[in-house]
Chain A
Amino acid sequence: MKTSIAFDIEVVSENALLLSWQQTISAVQHSDIIALQTQLNAQLTELIIESVASYHCLMIYYDFLKINTDELITKIHDIASTNSPEKDKLSGDIHSATPLTEQPCISIPVYYDTEQEWDLRAVAQQCGISIEEVIKLHSSSVYRSYALGFTPGFCYLASLPKALTLPRKSTPRTKVPKGAVAIAEQQTAVYPNESPGGWHIIGQTPLAMYRTHNGEFTPAITVGKNVQFYAISKAQFLAMKQSEKL
């Protein structure tokens, strides 16, 4: 019988609970987190206003006028410890035969910054490896999407190969371009729009990071997916960018 990985519940505000797991970046733990998130959203629909998952936490916003906080905490623990068939299906990553890394993958084309407009050369120097190695390391790993945050559609991906680990830039840029592909610490991400940014930019993608249809917002990368980057040429980048506009 599978028991869920242990977590803490803290009452953070009048209307929010913070569920915390071990402070680490772990695909298995994270699968558990988003499985629980799915269960809570399904079973407590009238009470839950919003839920936000991150690497090791889940914030639950609820209507505190509709339910006593202690009661809600009890309900959450009950749901988490229930080992129902539905739960097995939803946390397919853990129980199914398919290992995490063989799940379907979102592929992101990257025109790597070989013309050195951004940080690729500096990253290579600081990591003590060649530019080609940076590109190879970044594009050969399969990342997991852990959280959406910072700006709409910005998705935190981890974990970078250790050889690429660098702290954030000491001076963030006031403006990074739309589609900038960047790295910092153990993470990589794509900036969905022009914005300030403190991560090292190693390339750009022509791919839109979200779609908006009928007033809905759909990110290209949602939480709990596998993501991989692949190199494209400048010509391909420009061509893809052109067709994105159509």
Chain B
Amino acid sequence: MNKNFLEILSINGKASIQDLGRLSAQHLGFSVSGAADEYAFRYANKLITDYQKTITGSMVQHQKNCAVLEVTLGQISLRANVDCIIAITGADCQVQLSNASMNKTPIANWQCYQLTRGDIIDFSMPKNGLHSYIAVQGGFSCQENKQAFLASFAQTENEMLLGLMGEKLTVGSQLFFADELLAAESNNTERSLTSAESLKTNSTPKNTNKPELFYANQELTLRFIANKLFLQLSAEKQQQFLSTRYTVSPDSNRMGYRLLPKNYTTEILPECLRAASNLSKPVTFGTIQLPANNQPIVLMKERQTMGGYPVLGTVIQTDLFRLSQMRPGQEIKFSEISYQQAQQQLKAFYQKF
């Protein structure tokens, strides 16, 4: 029986296992799903990879894009059942580490830590942002037998009924991770770094000092690739869309962000163009839908594969990772970008990891 797990002691918000999702199962009707904030997701795995490099002197390939725990609005407590290496990124939950003697130590965000069997980590509700990520050496699976479903461990809320994505996480849930890696390591190397403090100095990625700089401070500008429909709008209507400020609606979630125009706006889409875009068609990550109520929806990771609303274009992926950390009430505006520039942005983003 696999003893390698973190156990959920308490949970007040949402948590699920996520990775890059099911990229090749959309044609079957599966939502891609996966980590909402890929920047924090990739960063967490990289912290562990970098730590492995300092210990073993070589890159361990499989720690790339391993499944992590995505926690929304903190408020979770986990206990390590074995010694393990974890990394915490994303929204700052002012995490506290309690060891067996119940000594509490605050641990910094965007860092890698070694937990000892029995250690408890407590996440408070973050003051800013939404999603926090916990990566573990070896990566999480969502059930004990470690089988991915359609090449991913991602847990999609609306698809849990299939019974193939593990149990919905709750108090008592055991988050298993690989055991082979830990065994191999203890045989090969001397583990000299044991305290949280010493790991901290060795694991900060060399080329990124302030990971929080990735995110928007106040208002977020969503750069989007305009589509044919948007370009068919009059210059006036295009300008109206681009100069409107929107706020994030409380009805936003992992499926999509609803945006509310701050001031009264007239219809952006003339009726003839609206009527001409009725038939359901495939949508993608970042698709901007415009229902008749003029409240744009930006589709996120847990979107469905088809949509029947008119589409104005697609937000670029790096801005979607930023958007995923925005809270209701925060402000958004749109600006156009070419697909070539969007590709450059994404390529540069991947190169960071």
Contacts and interface: CB of A to CB of B under 8 A. Distances in A.
A223 B306 CA distance: 14
A212 B280 contact: no
Contact of B339 (A8, A11, A147, A153): A11
Interface in B286-308: 286-287, 304-306
Contacts of A219: 28-29
A132 to B, nearest CB: 31
B29 to A, nearest CB: 4
A10 interface: yes
Contact of B23 (A8, A50, A69, A153): A50
A59 B148 CA distance: 25
Contact of A152 (B29, B306, B340, B343): B29
Given A12-B314, A64-B343, A59 B279 contact: no
A161 to B, nearest CB: 19
B225 interface: yes
Interface string A22-60: 011100000000000000000000000111111111110
Contact of A11 (B147, B225, B281, B316): B225
Given A13-B339, A14-B317, A14-B342, A217 B305 contact: no
A235 interface: no
Nearest to A214: B147
Contacts of A194: 161
A154 B306 CA distance: 11
A194 B235 CA distance: 45
Given A50-B23, A61-B23, A69 B343 contact: yes
Interface residues of A, number: 46
B29 A151 contact: yes
A156 interface: yes
Contact of B279 (A23, A51, A53): A23
Contacts of A193: 161-162
Given A52-B305, A56-B281, A61-B23, A152 B339 contact: no
Nearest to A185: B278
A23 B275 CA distance: 11
A8, A24, A50, A152 — most chain B CB neighbours (10 Å): A152
Contacts of A183: none
Interface of B is mostly: mixed
B27 A150 contact: no
Contacts of B194: none
A55 B280 contact: yes
Interface residues of B, number: 46
A10 B281 CA distance: 13
B228 to A, nearest CB: 6
Nearest to B339: A11
Interface of A is mostly: strand
Interface in A188-211: 193-195
B347 interface: yes
B232 interface: no
Contacts of A15: 346
B158 A195 contact: yes
B162 A212 contact: yes
B24 A52 contact: no
B150 interface: yes
B225 A12 contact: yes
Nearest to B23: A49
B280 A147 contact: yes
Given A65-B347, A215-B149, A149 B306 contact: yes
Contact of B305 (A58, A150, A215): A150
B30 interface: yes
Contact of A53 (B27, B228, B277, B285): B27
27 contacts: A12-B287, A12-B314, A13-B339, A14-B339, A14-B343, A16-B284, A16-B314, A20-B281, A24-B279, A50-B26, A52-B27, A54-B280, A55-B280, A56-B281, A57-B281, A57-B282, A59-B282, A64-B343, A149-B282, A149-B305, A193-B161, A195-B161, A212-B162, A212-B164, A217-B25, A217-B150, A223-B27
Interface of B: 23-30, 147-150, 158-159, 161-162, 164, 225, 227-228, 276-282, 284-287, 304-306, 313-314, 316-317, 339-340, 342-343, 345-347, 350
Given A16-B314, A219-B28, 4 more contacts: A13-B339, A14-B342, A61-B284, A217-B25
Interface of A: 8, 10-16, 18, 20, 23-25, 49-59, 61, 64-65, 69, 147-156, 193-195, 212, 215, 217, 219, 223
